[in-house]
Amino acid sequence: MPDKEKLVITGGNPLSGDVRVSGGKNTSVAVVPAALLCDEPCTIENLPDINDVAALADILRKLGASVTYEPGRFMTIDAQYVKDSHVGYRDAQKLRASYYFMGALLGRGGKFNIAYPGGCEIGSRPIDQHIKAFKALGAAVDEKGGDVAAEAKELVSGNIFFDIVTVGATINAMLAAVKAKGTTMIYNAAKEPHIVDVANFLNSMGAKIKGAGTDNIRIRGVPYLRGCTYTVIPDQIETGTFMIAGAATYGDVTIRGCIPQHMEALSAKLLEIGVRVTNSDDAIRVRSGGVHRSVNVKTQAYPGFPTDLQQPITALLTTAQGVSTVTETIFNNRFKHLDDLRRMGANIRCMGRAALIEGVPRLLGSPTTAADLRGGAALIVAGLMAHGITEIYEPEFIDRGYEHIEEKLRSLGADIKREST
């Protein structure tokens, strides 16, 4: 059993300098399983070196694919001889994105048997919309004992109207439909940048997907997908986390290799707070104005304010002047980080889905524990802001979504290190 670790941060230093973001976690964890649809070997570049990507490579190998993976560089996947379509409990539970093997295996060979996915405990996370999509394409789906089994004699095109906007189900519907005979329409689709990235990956193999990034996606089924080399987009949420950390420490940080257009909702909110945000082609510079105003944040599906940045920006708002509200509309239990922020001196009250944050002069370092990925990111932001020493236990949650987080923060002047407990 590897030693447990903790992050140790001595806060109070303004961050400054340049940092380069890695490839996107939420796009990579969809593109890697999607390679099962390819009839030839394909190579994916710019994958972040994070635990979730390594877990997916293991599952692909267990399914019979041959996988060459150089973390942080590329992964080559040859799925031509995959026969298996079962992903067991222990593997599926490792991450939420194991559900993408459902759409990929159904689209590849018309069947799958996969245990319910794991992932951050941020509220109830059913997969009813995923199943609705599979049924619309002609699959019989059976859920029992925590496993989902689906089979389609022949996948046929269909119309899929999602009852709610869902990233995972939108991507899974694309994966299952890309080789289904006829034209499939997806209505009320999610529009996140990684939806577009997955569609671009499939189209670079010869798929015929139009409308990704809008409410309606049209998919014309194709019989064959050729090999390709594809580079995934930079991580929208890592970019946002560094923007928030730069502002929260009253610093001056430039995030390089990002896509500023993906960050508009956060940039606008930071401007409201009194932070200067300057965009260039593939970089964003964030400079604190020295005084932060309280604001109201409400999470929405893209292009609204991302739910994955709700927790980090809450940390920033703990010392803004006045009372801010943060309303989480996507998940029903994404406030687990508030207790630790209160330990650090934050003044936060919860009213249903809204957190009311009354600004305090400063946070004070404290021992804390990450309860989920972005809650852990919020504790890092708070630790960088706080006077004194903050310890963050269970940092493995954070490692699932941020590549080399302490090295990147140290390059910006942060006093952060990883210690064995």
Site residues (CB under 6 A) for ligand EPZ?
A: 25-26, 29, 96-97, 120, 124-130, 164, 166-169, 190, 192, 237, 307-308, 330-331, 373-374, 401
Cα–Cα distances (Å) from 8 to 24, 259, 283, 337, 380, in that order, read 26, 31, 29, 17, 9
Q: Which residues does residue 277 pair with via DSSP β-bridges, in sequence order?
A: 286
For ligand EPZ, which residue has the nearest CB?
168
* Beta-sheet strands, E only, within 296-385: 296-298, 323-327, 347-351, 354-358, 367-369
Q: Can you tell me the distance from the alpha carbon of 74 to that of 281, in angstroms, rounded to the nearest whole number? A: 25
Least Cβ distance, residue 29 to ligand EPZ (angstroms) = 5
Least distance from ligand EPZ to the Cβ atom of residue 290, Å: 31
The closest of 238, 194, 188 to 214, measured between CA atoms, is 188
Nearer to ligand EPZ, 29 or 32 (CB): 29
What is the rounded distance in angstroms from the CA atom of residue 394 to the CA atom of residue 399? 10
Q: Measured from the CB of residue 24, what is the shortest distance to ligand EPZ in angstroms?
A: 9
Residue 120 is a catalytic residue:
yes
Min separation Cβ 148 and ligand EPZ, Å: 11
What is the crossing angle of helices 167-177 and 128-136, to 10°? 20
Q: Between residues 307 and 369, which has the closer beta carbon with respect to ligand EPZ?
A: 307
Q: Where are the alpha helices (DSSP H) in 251-301?
A: 264-273
Whole-number minimum distance, CB 1 to ligand EPZ, in Å?
A: 26
Q: Rounded distance, CA 25 to CA 73, Å? A: 14
Residue 26 or 390: which CB sits closer to ligand EPZ?
26
- Least Å distance, CB 23 to ligand EPZ, is 14
- Please, which residues have CB within 8 angstroms of residue 93's CB and are 6 or more apart in sequence? 115, 116, 117, 118
Which conformational region is residue 366 in: left (phi greater than 0), alpha (psi within -120 to 50 degrees), or beta?
beta
Sorted by sequence, the CB contacts under 8 Å of residue 225 that are 6+ apart come out as 37, 38, 39, 40, 178, 179, 202, 205, 206, 207
Segment holding 103, helix H or strand E: helix 100-109
Of the residues 38, 42, 120, 228, which is catalytic? Answer: 120
Could you give the residue numbers annotated as active site?
Answer: 120
